[in-house]
Amino acid sequence: MDYREYYRADAKRRRRRRGFQRFCFFALLLLLLLGLAAVITWVIEAVGGKDDPSASLPGQSVSSSAVSSQPEESSSGAVQQGAALPEKGRVELSYFTDAAFVGDSITVGWNDYKGAAALPDTNVIAAIGVTPPVNGIQWAGSDGAMYDPLQAVADAAPAKLYLMFGANKLVDQGDAAEDTLLSSYASFIDDLRAKLPQAKIYIQSVLTPTATGTDAHPGLSPERIARVNGRLQALAAEKGCYYLDLEEALCPEGVLSDAYASGDGLHLSKEGYMAWLEYLITHAAYDPSNPYVGGIDPGP
């Protein structure tokens, strides 16, 4: 091979080598750019996730109830979904200043006794013979004038709602009465949520009458009320409300205590309302703005 041929062969080898080097350079540059883009994307998503309270970690899901008003307390006093609110620390009577008691004739009784209970500012929105108001139903006031109970609750703008319904529907012994009660209760809670999305809602158990009350109203048998209260507890869990088992305090032997019952065995005496209030004082969901006496959340 003479010099010219060697030179041409060597030049061809150098061109191939430079081409390969350029290829490697651009391939490496492309990989670096792709890696940089991935890092930037991860950073943006990470920052966005911190700003989004509903963001979840991989493999986790967030239900709509998890970011709604599902009952939650401090980590030391968490309320299990579906569980009755347990006895907690005591709250001051001022806790009930922005509360409303809503219900039937048993709740109406608060109008007679809230002064004695030192609850002058607590709203009582209740009427005789009523069930949970739905579909625009009107109630009769003490003066006989009709009013919209849902709007009355909204106008009062309470931060806490204590609901009690059931007896008036359950005097009906028909098979559909229980389902109708639960359906109207659920609809009423939905309506309240739409009007007062930040309010704490407490569903209170139906009280089992004394033997005198059950004899007069066979539909209010202990077995039936126990079944309905179980369904109300499940409804509270479903709707993100607190469930209060008033029977624990007022019906210690399975029916309304004689010490708390009025003559008809269905409604309450003054002592009954005082015992009811004591139960509410010790069964309030923890709220840092209305701390327990002493400012401590004692846990479950």
pLDDT of residue 66: 34
What is the extent of the structural domain holding 252? 93-281
Percent of the residues in the chain that have a pLDDT greater than 70, as a whole number: 77
Per-residue pLDDT tens digits for 22-51: 777 777 777 777 777 777 777 666 655 444
pLDDT of residue 79: 53
Per-residue pLDDT tens digits for 59-116: 333 333 333 445 655 433 445 556 799 998 899 999 999 999 999 999 999 999 998 8
CB 275 within 8 A of CB 249: yes
Tokens at 135, concatenated = 């579909």
Angstrom distance (rounded) from CA 219 to CA 255: 14
The verdict on residue 106 lying in a domain is: yes
pLDDT of residue 155: 98
Q: What is the DSSP letter of 261?
A: B
Number of domains composing the chain: 1
pLDDT of residue 43: 61
pLDDT of residue 78: 47
The verdict on residue 87 lying in a domain is: no
pLDDT of residue 211: 96
CB 104 within 8 A of CB 128: yes
Partners of 123 in the β-ladder: 100
Regions in the chain scoring below 70 on pLDDT? 1-17, 20, 43-82, 294-300
pLDDT of residue 9: 61
The verdict on residue 164 lying in a domain is: yes
The verdict on residue 45 lying in a domain is: no
CATH number at residue 139: 3.40.50.1110
The verdict on residue 30 lying in a domain is: no
